[in-house]
Structures are given as C-alpha cells and as structure tokens.
Copies of this chain bind each other. A is one copy, B any other.
Amino acid sequence: MGRYSDVAENSEQAMSIKYNTIVYELKKQGKKVLVMSLGEAFFDMPLFSFDALPASEIYHYSHSMGIIELRKKLAEYFMRRYSIPINPENEILITAGSKIAIYMALMAIINPGDEIVVQEPCWVSYPEQIKLAHGVPVQIPYDKTVYDYEKYITPKTKAIIINTPHNPTGYVYSREEINHLLKLAEKHNIWLFSDEAYSDFVTDKEFLSPGSIDTEKKHTVIFNSISKNFGISGWRMGYIISNKKMIHNVLKINQHLITCPATILEYYVNQYFDRILEITTPLMKALNEKRKVVSAHMDKLGLTHLPGEATFYFFLSIAPTKLTSEEFCTKLLTEDYISVVPGLGYGRSCDKFIRVSIGTASLDEIKFGLDKIKELVVKTS
C-alpha cells in the first residue's frame, strides 16, 4: 500500500456530516428521523427554464474569475445592500462554493506553522482547513469576547476569522466589534477574514461587513455564498471579495484547483438573479419570525443558548447533563430519532452545547424536538 500524509491521516470528518450520515443510514432502514442537524434551510424554490441560457456558453469553461455579468450583479448588490464598493474586474472572484473560497484564501496567506485565530464555537471546517493548509488553528474559548483576541495574536498570526452572522450561534457582530477587529488587523498587519455566508438572513437589524469600513480591503477578505443566501446549497457557488492583489493570488490557486464553478449554473443565477431574490427575501423574513417563536419556546423550557439573532441555527446549552455532547446526541438520535450536532464539533470548549438547526423541520416538530431535548437533559443530569 502507498503511504499517506499526516494532514490527511489527522483530518477529522466534520461532526455535522458524521451525524447526517447516520441520519441517512437510519432513513434507509425505514426509520422516521426528526432532522435538526442540517446546514440548510429548505426553501421551496421553483426551477426556471434552462432554455433561456446562452447555449453556446453553458457547456464550456467560464472565465476563471467567474462570468463578468454575474460579478457585476454581485458588486451592485453589495453596494446597494451593504454599501461596499467593489470593482467587478478585479476585486471579486466567483468560486465553486464559499468553502473552497475560504480554503484558497488560507492557502494564499499561510506558510507552514503560521497561526490563524478563530473563536469557538467555530464552524467545523475552519480548524480542519487551516491544518490542511499546514497552518495552526488558535482557538479561543466560547466565553471570551473580541476584546480578548489580542492576547492570542503572536508574530506567527496571519489572520483572524469571523463568521457573521454566525454558524452555529446566529450572532451578528456589532459595529464596535468590527471596528475593534479592523484596528487589530491594522496594528498587527494581519488579515480579517469575514465569512458572511448567511448575510441575507439578517432582516431585523443592521448587518455590518468589515468591507464597508475597510473599503479599500487592505486587511479585509469577505466570503459569501450564493448557495446559502439563495437557498441552493447544493449548487456550490460562492464568491470572495478583497483587494486586487489578494484576488489575483486566489485566482492563480483557483486556476490550478478548479478553474470555475459550473458554468451553466453561473448563467442560471445571473439570468434569474432578481427573481430568486424576490422569492428568498420573504422566506428569510419568515425564518426570522420562526426563530423568535422557537427562541420563546426555549425560554419557556428553561433552555439557554448563546446570543444570536439570525440564521436557522441555535447553539443550545445542555448543561447540567453529565453526558458529553457526543453521548447526548447519539442517545437522542438512536432512542428518540432526533438529530442535532454535538457541540464538541465546534471546539473543545463547547462540549456542553448542541447545535439545533430549525431550517427544515416544521414549528410543531421543532417544539416536540426541544421538549425531548429538555427531557434528556433532565434525565441525564
């Protein structure tokens, strides 16, 4: 047998995917599972015609920055909605999902051993991506704030990653916090990576991207997701926004890794951009209303969660259970057929939490699920 690399052997499967694979297996066995573990909201999207797309273009590679028409639309959208000026020629690159965009940007800044700062709970793929890029994730426990971050910065630090709105808490960073983070980035000459895959899910309050303050994007790299914000997660389309030099470096990497997202889908999203937004915008509003009802039900049950106001995620405390978060979730899944994701997947400081996703189940189902979660917490305390 051939030999493997350390990064591959040490890489861990995403906890969310691990649990969703068990769900998949249980369903195959005919079990009915209440799924509150998916990283998706199920929007009821119609399928528009593909016949209207330019037939001579859809089968071929697109420009490796993505088609210019869509880059222009996204730039206009960002200006209109988030007041961020973007040059569509050289400050935005369309990628095959925002996941690979973040990974390529990490490759663009990490020399082996360099450190990237990220606070827990953190999206499962950040630490793994950093390690796959031969960097070192420096993970800050969940009970710190951005005003504690500077203590974790060393000469080896290359970037801070934030996720706003946040998966798995739903937290939206404030103007003061973003300002503080940008000052840190400038002072230490590091990058601020802002993963904004759920930006459109903020409907009630101001969403502030560091890009609207650092308009020259000297230290800011923004990641966004057409897949998530447009309710088409399986289409793998995202984009990265930064200064010309950063985008050029990511472009080179993109050309050797993947060339472009599926051209036909780039044309589809470009063609139906406004119509898709007309459908998703009220759905986002409805989701936030659902979030409030769910949050009130949690309060009623005495279940607490980390602060957050947007997205379909809650990061729920399961203290005072005596179980680890993995034991808790396995028990919940195999005995009650309810799937949620163990907090441990979001960092070692988070083993008394679980991620509950309200994107796909109905309100009644979610309430039923939360009642069962409460029961299990009490039973295992």
Contact = CB atoms under 8 A, between A and B. Distances in A.
A13 interface: yes
A258 B232 contact: no
Nearest to A265: B262
Contacts of A364: none
Contacts of A306: none
B246 A259 contact: no
Nearest to A249: B8
A199 to B, nearest CB: 19
Interface in A202-218: 218
Contact of A2 (B50, B97, B159, B250): B159
Nearest to A47: B50
A127 to B, nearest CB: 9
Contact of A59 (B50, B111, B233, B256): B233
Given A17-B255, A64-B17, A234-B263, A249 B4 contact: yes
Nearest to A258: B100
A11 B256 contact: yes
A78 B271 CA distance: 37
A152 to B, nearest CB: 17
Interface in A46-60: 47, 50-51, 55, 57-60
Copy number in the complex reads 2
Given A5-B108, A257-B103, A262-B265, A47 B40 contact: no
Chain A interface residue number, banded: 35 or more
Given A2-B109, A61-B233, A261-B236, A256 B50 contact: no
A300 interface: no
A11 B243 contact: no
A11 B51 CA distance: 39
A63 B58 CA distance: 25
Interface of A: 1-9, 11-14, 17, 24, 39-40, 42-43, 45, 47, 50-51, 55, 57-64, 96-97, 99-100, 103, 107-112, 114, 125, 128-129, 132, 134, 158-159, 185, 189-191, 218-219, 231-236, 243, 245-246, 249-253, 255-265
18 contacts: A1-B219, A2-B190, A5-B109, A11-B249, A13-B255, A14-B256, A47-B50, A47-B55, A57-B234, A59-B231, A59-B235, A97-B259, A99-B256, A99-B259, A103-B257, A132-B257, A234-B260, A234-B264
